[in-house]
């Protein structure tokens, strides 16, 4: 009787230990590994030309010796619009949600690198910046744990700065290509919203800003929608584009464009045209 009780206790203890040591995302990590292996197989395939409309394909394949990996050229910053980092991690590990990001930054500054930078995350959705209509294919998505109505934590911004330095250096991303989800999808999104410290980022080379004391005027005859489109905004809905511009550069959520707003817009256009 003693031995049976002892064995039962031992088994119960082992079960408890295994439960304590189990990782919540072990199964989704296995899915990630399988998915990447499948993609690697596709990359390793020799190029093959499909015959379309009697296109004359060469009989033998000749592979070039000059190539490397495609690299990201934009960084898109989001707020999660959820109530915790754990909630976001779960969202990004459920296949049915069809959303993801390369990085998630929690309130305590912890950074989750969820996807290889060279992979295409599903974070931008239907979006446009300038002539780029496939943002996901050229960008890295960073989600910051924030419900959209609160200031960002200092620890989050500190971690973000370190991450942006790494990305800018590693991929040679231009300063003006650090933008927000609301900038590329003004009709659908507002993130990272008016509480995000874009000025602080721009002072460190991640994004562009303006001189608050400037009296620079917009060129005569240049309309607000045309000016916004020159910066990069999709002006199919001009009101949405104005609101996106105001949230990013003026920390304002009104659609009225005053002289100070116009001066900021004029400076952004000048930077776009001259790089200064």
Q: Which residues are catalytic?
A: 143
What is the CB-side half-sphere exposure of residue 52 using CA atoms within 13 A? Answer: 3
Region at 201 (left for phi over 0; alpha for psi -120 to 50; beta for the rest): alpha
Direct distance between the N- and C-terminal alpha carbons of the chain, in angstroms, rounded to an integer = 85
Region at 52 (left for phi over 0; alpha for psi -120 to 50; beta for the rest): beta
DSSP β-bridge partners for residue 79: 144
DSSP β-bridge partners for residue 76: 141, 179
Beta strands 111-113; 103-105: pairing state? antiparallel
DSSP β-bridge partners for residue 113: 103
Nearest to 267 by CA among 237, 232, 231: 231
- C-alpha–C-alpha distance, residues 161 and 169, integer Å: 12
- Tokens 């002892």 correspond to 6
State the DSSP H helix or E strand holding residue 203, giving kind and residue range, or none if neither: helix 198-203
């Amino acid at each position: 009787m003693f031995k049976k009780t002892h064995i039962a206790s031992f088994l119960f203890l082992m079960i408890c230990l295994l439960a304590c040591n189990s990782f919540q995302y072990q199964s989704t990590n296995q899915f990630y590994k399988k998915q990447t292996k499948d993609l690697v197989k596709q990359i390793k395939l020799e190029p093959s030309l499909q015959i379309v409309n009697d296109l004359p394909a060469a009989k033998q394949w000749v592979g070039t010796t000059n190539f490397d990996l495609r690299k990201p050229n934009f960084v898109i910053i989001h707020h999660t619009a959820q109530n915790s980092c754990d909630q976001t991690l779960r969202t990004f590990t459920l296949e049915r949600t069809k959303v993801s990001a390369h990085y998630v930054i929690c309130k305590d500054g912890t950074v989750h690198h969820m996807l290889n930078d060279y992979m295409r995350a599903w974070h931008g959705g239907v979006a446009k910046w300038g002539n780029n209509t496939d943002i996901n294919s050229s960008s890295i998505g960073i989600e910051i744990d924030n419900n959209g109505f609160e200031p960002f934590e200092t620890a989050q911004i500190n971690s973000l700065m370190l991450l942006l330095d790494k990305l800018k250096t590693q991929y040679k991303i231009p300063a003006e290509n650090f933008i927000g989800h609301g900038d590329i999808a003004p009709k659908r999104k507002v993130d990272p919203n008016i509480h995000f410290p874009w000025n602080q980022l721009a002072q460190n080379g991640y994004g562009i800003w303006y001189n608050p004391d400037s009296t620079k005027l917009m060129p005569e005859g240049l309309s607000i929608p045309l000016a916004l489109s020159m910066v990069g905004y999709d002006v199919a809905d001009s009101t949405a584009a104005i609101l996106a511009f105001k949230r990013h550069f003026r920390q304002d959520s009104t659609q009225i464009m005053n002289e100070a707003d116009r001066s900021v817009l004029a400076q952004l256009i000048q930077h776009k045209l001259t790089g200064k």
